[in-house]
Amino acid sequence: MKYKELTIKYLESDQPTDLEPNDILLLEKAKEAAKQAYAPYSGFRVGAALRLNDKQIITGNNQENAAYPSGLCAERVAIFSASALNPGAVIESIVITVDTDQQKVTEPVPPCGACRQVIAEYEKKQGKKIRVTFAGETGKIIQVDSIESLLPLSFNSNNLQHR
């Protein structure tokens, strides 16, 4: 048996101005989207904004439901909307942030496991990496060049056995 080590490479910043101008705009759009989220149960509103290769920006926000598993995360709302409205478009970058009722979130809030899996699927589908940036309401911002940094050894279509 041989143990191996995975290394995660990411950028960390205390200032949004350290981001590329296009990603600063996405962060602003994600913040706007978060404020419009439907989160009456948790008060934890998440916003996502993504940029397509034609420079179009698509936003999404979390949508809660009294039957909790029936809700959907902001990232998946944005990605599925982009795919439904722009078949074949390539997602270049996605930014995720939050807006809360209780205390201010000062740590970056990364995508959940399901959203990581969806981002990985779209990276494979489009054959191009998607830059992922995430932030809290204030504080640090984290950015990775690809979901592979957040979901190494991911499950994908190569793992399916075709008969």
Cα-based distances in Å from 129 to 15, 46, 124: 24, 23, 8
Exposure string over 100-109, b if 16+ CB within 10 A, otherwise e: beeeebeebb
Exposure string over 67-82, b if 16+ CB within 10 A, otherwise e: eeeebbbbbbbbbeeb
Q: For residue 35, give both structure tokens.
A: 């404020």
- Would you name the residues annotated as active-site residues? 75
46: DSSP letter: E
Quick count: other Cβ atoms within 10 Å of Cβ 125?
A: 14
The rounded radius of gyration (Å) of the Cα atoms in the chain is: 16
